[in-house]
Amino acid sequence: MKLHQSLLVFSALGAAALAFAPVSAVEKKKETPKEVVISGELINADVKDKVLQQSFCKTYTYKMTAGHTYQIDLQSGDFDAYLRLEDPKGKQVAADDDSGGGLNARIMYKAAESGDFTVCAMSLGGGSTGKFTLILKDTTPPGEKKAEDKKKAEGKEKEPEGGKPIELKNEKGKATATSSIAANDPLYKTKRHKLFLFPMEEGKTYEINMTSNALDSYLYLEDPDGKLLAMDDDGGGFPNARITIQAAKAGKHRIIATYFGNGNGDFTLSIEEKK
CATH, residue 253: 2.60.120.380
Asked whether the predicted pLDDT for residue 16 surpasses 80, the reply is: no
Half-sphere exposure of 194 (CA within 13 A, CB side): 19
Q: Following DSSP, what letter does each residue of 67-101 receive, concatenated? A: T-EEEEEEE-SSS-EEEEEE-TTS-EEEEESSTTS
Sequence-distant (6+) residues with CB within 8 A of 49 are 1, 2, 3, 55, 56, 57, 84, 120, 122
Residue type, 222: E
Element (H, E) at 214: none
Contacts of residue 135, Cβ cutoff 8 Å, sequence gap at least 6:
35, 36, 37, 38, 71, 72, 73, 75
The verdict on 198 and 85 lying in the same domain is: no
Per-residue confidence (pLDDT) for residue 151, from 0 to 100: 53
Instruction: List the single range of 4-13, 26-35, 75-84, 119-128 with lowest mean pLDDT.
Output: 4-13
Same domain as 16, residue 124:
yes
- Quote the pLDDT of residue 15: 31
Q: How far is CA 261 from CA 5, 28, 29, 33, 172, in A?
A: 33, 37, 37, 30, 34
Domain co-membership, 103 together with 217: no
- 14, 92: one domain: yes
The answer as to whether 160 is a domain residue is no
137 and 187 fall within a common domain = no
Specify if 45 maps to a domain: yes
The model's confidence at residue 184, banded by pLDDT at 50, 70 and 90, is confident
In a domain, 159, yes or no: no
Q: Is residue 154 part of a domain?
A: no
Residues 118 and 189 in one domain: no
**Residues 241 and 179 placed together within one structural domain of the fold:** yes
Domain boundary among 84, 106, 141: 141
pLDDT range class, residue 185, cuts 50, 70, 90: confident
The contacts of residue 147 (CB under 8 Å, 6+ apart) are: none
pLDDT in tens, 144-165: 555 555 555 554 434 444 467 9
Do 176 and 124 lie in one domain? The reply is: no
Neighbour count for residue 27 (Cβ, 10 Å):
7
Residues 170 and 130 in one domain: no
Q: Is residue 205 over pLDDT 80? A: yes
Q: Which domain holds residue 26?
A: 9-141
Number of independent structural domains in the chain? 2
Is 44 within a domain? yes
